[in-house]
Amino acid sequence: MQFSETILKRKSTRAFLDKPVAAEKIQTILDLARHAPSGVNTQPWQVAVVQGKTKKQLEEQLEQAFRSGSKANMDYQYYPKQWEEPFKSRRKACGLKMYSTLNISRDDKQRQLDQWAANYRAFDAPVALFFFLDEHAEQGSYLDYGMFLQSVMLAAVDQGLATCPQAALTEYPQIVKTALDQDNNSVLICGMALGYEDKDALVNSYRTEREDYTSFTQFFD
């Protein structure tokens, strides 16, 4: 597969086959991703690979927290506190694209709730990855982490797998850290669903729009 094809094939997948992922594939993905760049080679990433019974127990706790109305308390501010344009419209379009594809109306609050709850199960993927950062890291390490996460996702495509990076899996960090025996002072960066795409699932049939590069690029000669 050419690199350009790999870039275009990657997408956020929200339905997976009930098919286990071989340990060798996960190891290959992480072995490739470790070559991502980082400032002065700090390599700030720490990864927890969660499957089987542990995943089942953890996702039950996360979904229960969500459905009970527990307030999310992420380790850092991911989204803006005040949405401004053009980001406000892009966010709205993203949600509308999914709900319209699934024929979920604005008035059907229960289906909306159930669809969102799937986030906390990592969309029933066989593997959930959780990414942690040392508490003393600064903003540069977040930049490094983004490059590492993209490397993970592209390596997954190369292995015939699909992913979905998820901020939702970080909304209850203490539940995750306790379940995975992580340092309470570490920063839970994000989670990621990993598995084989269910290509027949309606939710996987749409793609979000991307701005043309000319809309965000300036050339200086």
List pLDDT tens digits, range 179-220.
Answer: 999 999 999 999 999 999 999 999 999 999 999 999 999 999
Are 15 and 125 spatial neighbours (Cβ–Cβ below 8 Å)?
Answer: no
Average of per-residue pLDDT values in the chain: 97
Q: Say if residue 137 is exposed, middle or buried (CB neighbours under 10 Å; 0-12, 13-18, 19+).
A: middle
Q: Where are the domains of the chain?
A: 3-79+120-206
Say what the pLDDT of residue 194 is: 98
Q: State what percent of residues in the chain have pLDDT above 70.
A: 100
How confident is residue 1, by pLDDT bands cut at 50, 70 and 90? confident
Say what the pLDDT of residue 118 is: 97
pTM to 2 decimals? 0.96
Range 52-80 average pLDDT: 97
Say what the pLDDT of residue 128 is: 98
Q: Torsion angle of alpha carbons 177, 182, 186, 190, nearest 10°? A: -50
Say what the pLDDT of residue 170 is: 97
pLDDT, tens digit (0-9, with 9 covering 90-100), for 35-46: 999 999 999 999
Say what the pLDDT of residue 126 is: 98
Beta pairing partners, 130: 48, 191
pLDDT, tens digit (0-9, with 9 covering 90-100), for 147-171: 999 999 999 999 999 999 999 999 9
Q: Is the pLDDT of residue 141 over 90?
A: yes
Q: Taking the domain 3-79+120-206, which CATH number applies?
A: 3.40.109.10
Backbone φ, ψ for residue 172 (5° rounding): -125, 70
Q: Any residues with CB less than 8 A from the CB of 84 and at least 6 apart, and which?
A: none
